[in-house]
Amino acid sequence: MNDGRAHHPVLLREVLAALAPKEGAVLVDGTFGAGGYAKALLEAAPCIVYGIDRDPDAIAAGHEMVRQFQGRLVLLQGRFAEMDRLLQRQGLTAVDGVALDVGVSSMQLDQAERGFSFRADGPLDMRMERAGPSAADVVNHLSESELADIIYQLGEEHGSRRIARAIVRARAEAPILRTGQLAAVVARVVRPGPGIHPATKTFQALRIYVNDELGQLQQALAAAERLLRPQGRLAVVSFHSLEDRLVKQFLAERSGDLPRPSRHAPPVGAAPATPSFKLLRRGTVKPAADEIAANPRARSARLRAAERTAAPAIPLQVAA
């Protein structure tokens, strides 16, 4: 899920083309959100879709769609990183397609009480599952150096040390419990870019950290690899360079499409003996001009898609 898909699923035509739903296919919408991709897949072919979301609000809001499609949509609350285990409980060990739309949903952004956005004041929460430590816990209890590292690494914010210092000074006077408070603290020390709120990258970093989004994405890609049957399709839409880089690396390693320092040099890294994926195309698919005009939030979206081979899944190597 990500910026602006409650009513406008991003790259919808391209995701449908990549997954190519057929009669009788079993598909997974691993980031159900407002159900945009799931609904389009169900309308495109008489298939079955399993919608997964870690946010209980998204699952609750999808019950009307379950009734609408009369048994062809099944909703499961949980993390997409655990999609194979969630589906095994439903008696499924293989599927024909997996769609992932990575990040935060428009529904979450638009609800001030969820604390994801600096645009409307609300509690500094950001928890997709409404459980575990919140963004307020992180901001008020981690050290200055830990905050700086999070904001720099996950937000790619070059003013991270100034921001962390300002947060620590502000919380010494009073706890930072509201999105408006944090946004104001950041705005005092960061010069905004053209059309960009100065707190954008800090909020992104905290959200990714609170929800372990990169770790969850890496595990979700491996879970999809285990689930997809030969010729099954994987389509991943991402919105930030950190997410896209992770997807690109995963698919490059699994397909053997590894980068070369030059045309004559060997690939960097070790290609699998038998690739588990075949890229549907090299590089990314980006939104067309008409989609960006209709939904400006789509401008940073990127789609990568691949088809599963008959090779065994490759064990996920997680960095220590």
| Same domain, yes or no: 205 and 256 | no
Q: Which of 210, 241, 268 is the last residue of a domain?
A: 210
Distance from C-alpha of 193 to C-alpha of 117, rounded to nearest angstrom: 18
Q: What's the CATH number where 144 sits? A: 1.10.150.170
Tell whether 233 is covered by a domain: yes
Q: By three-state DSSP, how is residue 188 classified?
A: coil
| Same domain, yes or no: 200 and 275 | no
Provide the token pair at 121.
Answer: 């004041």
Tell whether 24 is covered by a domain: yes
| Same domain, yes or no: 222 and 92 | yes
What is the pLDDT, as a whole number, of residue 2? 42
| Same domain, yes or no: 95 and 219 | yes
Taking only the tens of pLDDT, the chain with its 320 residues reads 443 334 578 999 999 999 999 999 999 999 998 899 999 999 999 999 999 999 888 899 999 999 999 999 999 999 999 999 999 999 999 999 999 999 665 554 555 555 456 677 899 988 888 788 999 999 999 999 999 999 999 999 999 999 999 999 999 999 999 999 999 999 999 987 777 889 989 999 999 999 999 999 999 999 999 999 999 999 999 998 999 999 999 999 999 976 645 454 545 555 567 899 999 999 999 999 999 999 887 888 999 999 999 999 988 775 54
What is the residue range of 194's domain?
A: 130-210
Q: What's the CATH number where 304 sits? A: 3.40.50.150
Distance from C-alpha of 255 to C-alpha of 257, rounded to nearest angstrom: 5
**Burial of 132: CB neighbours in 10 Å, binned 0-12, 13-18, 19+:** exposed
| Same domain, yes or no: 182 and 234 | no
Residue in 137, 103, 312, 108 with CA at minimum distance from that of residue 216: 103
What is the pLDDT, as a whole number, of residue 5? 37
What is the pLDDT, as a whole number, of residue 8? 76
Tell whether 248 is covered by a domain: yes
Tell whether 159 is covered by a domain: yes
Tell whether 278 is covered by a domain: yes
| Same domain, yes or no: 32 and 96 | yes
Tell whether 223 is covered by a domain: yes
The number of distinct structural domains making up the chain is 2
